[in-house]
Structure 1
Amino acid sequence: MQAEQLQALKNWFNQYVKNFYHDDPNVQAGIRLKEEHTQRVCEKILRIGSSLNLGPEDLYLAETIALLHDIGRFKQFVLYHTFNDRRSENHALLGIRELERTGVLAALTEEERNLVTRSIEYHNLCTLPPDLPERLSLFARLIRDADKLDILEMFTASLDRKNDKPEAQQISGLPDTPGYSPVLVRNLLQGQLCHYNDMKNSNDHKLLMLSWIYDINFPYSLSEIASNGCVEKIVARLPKTEEVQKVYEHLQAYMARRLAR
């Protein structure tokens, strides 16, 4: 992939998003939220890719995937007024349909189109399918890391700004009740991802976000999470219990082992 192709896609993206700008300030705030998220994910995927010494053409392709990974979010929010896929539809598949409808990827090779669309399809799955081809696995893991890095940063920031509507659109709408679900703590202590269906309140959402640490693929990504203090900031907003302390210590030990390699 070449630089001029990426620039053409950036121009298309900017025009596409402007079509969803809205007089309703709540809708406009949601559109801007995802527009800014996309910009940050593009920056993050380039930093991760550079840490792996990827060549220029692969970095262009990685940035393309980051640019388009949430393209379905704009139509989703205008149609459904939510970013919750379970209350609307899968934004990744909606995005792929938009890319196919507009034909914006026509200038790419068949292999490049496949890498872009499959990476977008897989970016929001709980786990990647097994035995993916090597290059598809690489780009799918790149976008998953870049996306998670930014969402974790937005989430931790939202803990201090509960009444900020653009940030509130990112959270699940679960009740802010005491306690948490034991199954999520068990998953975390066993080094496993938590599941959305097990969430009952906002504390459960925090525990689920912590479990994303187990699905970070590249050392650079994990080092960013460690240096940003995301784990500490989320744990500080959880109940002060022995179980939560064990979760914190387990995650810290896990990150230390991974980074020591």
Structure 2
Amino acid sequence: MVEVQATEGKGLEDGLRAEAGAERRKKIIMKIDLEGTKRWFEGYLQGFELSDPMLEMKHLHSYEVMKLGERLTAALGWDEDRSRVGVAASLLHDIGRFSQYRDFKTYHDGDSIDHGDRGAAVLEAEFPRTLADSEAREAIIEAVRWHNKKELPELDEAVAPFCLLVRDADKLDVFKLVQRCIDEDRVEELLPRHKPGEPLSEVLLEEVERTGKGSYKNAASLLDYLLIQLSWVGDMNFVPSLRLLKQSGVLESIFEHFPMDDARVASLLDRLTAPCRSA
């Protein structure tokens, strides 16, 4: 068993511990039909109005996360079978979002359902068993279930790396997605609860200073959301993930929104992003 608790400064340690059992995991054969999985995913989505910009955005996001999963598994040196499973889990990670938006017209889990749990339920009920063996199927379902959770439980070492991979790949694309929406003046469409132009929440600021993480319940402004995003840096699990984030330049774009002349804020942001600078 591998303990993968997502606490401040623990992300890389979790990733290293998840990789430490690589030799043992080589004995666990995972098989998946990746191309068949892509076709099934597209077939599943035919039941939704993909012409809706909010659903189209999640459709595109799914493939961007899949591409990041491909890059990360290659950088991590995963074998071909495990890489296919990781890529499939990355593609399917947000499958619960489509029925969430159809049923509730929101992507805010607090006002609807936990989209990771919904996604796992969708896969358990509908993902064909002919496309993946039982080990690959379990790894994908658990990666989808846990990709959005603030804290992770103790996970089986055969499943843990896939959970960590998907969490990293998802965060990397969400960083870019939010900045793109800001640049295109569409951020209120994506984040209707987080108002541009409003100051940082003192409650959230104190929480992040104390714990290294922030709760969405304490976030009301765009700055609050961006602060929570910066807290994700310490939750990255693999060095290649940090390197991709560093190369993207997105952190510098986020910094532009903050009052960097405020010593308290500048010090906190420096601490939150330190793992990326050292990658």
Confirm or deny a common fold (TM above 0.5).
yes
Asked if 1:139 corresponds to 2:186, the answer is no
Distance in 1 of aligned mates of 2:190 and 2:269: 24
Contact 1:46 1:59 in 2 (8 A): yes
CA–CA distance in structure 2, aligned partners of residues 119 and 187 of structure 1: 27
Structure-1 separation of matches of 2:221 and 2:199: 8
Q: More displaced, 105-114 or 232-241?
A: 105-114
Q: 1:180 aligns with which of 160, 179, 200?
A: 200
Q: Does residue 128 of the first structure (1) align with residue 152 of the second (2)? A: yes
Q: Which of the pair has the greater relative contact order for Cα pairs under 8 Å at 6+ separation? A: 2
Give the whole-Å Cα distance in 2 for the aligned partners of 1:177 and 1:137: 39
In 2, Cα distance between equivalents of 1:133 and 1:50: 22
Query: Is the contact made by 1:123 and 1:143 (CA closer than 8 Å) also made in structure 2?
Result: yes
CA distance in 1, matches of 2:255, 2:211: 16
Q: CA deviation at 1:178?
A: 3.4
Q: Partner of 2:155: helix, strand, or coil?
A: coil
Does 2:36 align with 1:8? yes
Partners of 1:137 and 1:253 lie apart in 2 by: 25
Measured in 1, the distance between the counterparts of 2:92 and 2:198 equals 38
Of 49, 68, 76, the match for 2:100: 76
Instruction: Identify the match of residue 116 of structure 1 among 126, 136, 140.
Output: 140
Where 1:57 maps in the other structure, the secondary structure is helix
* More displaced 10-residue stretch of structure 1: 195-204 or 246-255: 246-255
1:171 corresponds to which residue? Answer: 191
- State the shift of 1:49 in Å: 0.9
Tell me if 1:153 matches 2:176: yes
With normalisation by structure 1, the TM-score equals 0.87
- The question of whether the paired residues in 1 share the 8 Å contact of 2:106 and 2:112 is answered with yes
- Which range is displaced more, 169-178 or 135-144? 169-178
**Cα contact 2:246–2:277 (8 A) shared by 1:** no
Please give the per-residue CA displacement for 1:52-97, whole angstroms capped at 9, x wherever unaligned. Answer: 1000100110011112111111111111111111111111121222
| RMSD (Å) for aligned C-alpha atoms | 2.0
Describe the shift of the 1:99–1:169 C-alpha distance in structure 2 as closer, same or farther (beyond 3 A). farther
Uncovered stretches (5+) of structure 1, i.e. residues with no partner: none
How far apart are 1:175 and its partner, in Å? 3.0
Query: Following superposition, which runs of at least 4 residues in structure 1 exceed 6 angstroms of deviation?
Result: none
SS at match of 2:140: helix
Is the 1:231–1:248 Cα contact (8 Å) retained in structure 2? Answer: no
53-62 or 242-251: which moved more?
Answer: 242-251
Alignment partner of 1:63 is 2:87: yes
Secondary structure in structure 1 of the residue aligned to 2:170: helix
TM score, norm. by length of structure 2 = 0.82
SS of equivalent to 1:44:
helix
SS of residue paired to 2:143: helix
Q: Which runs of 5+ in 2 are unaligned?
A: 1-29
Contact 2:200/2:224, CA 8 A, preserved across alignment: yes
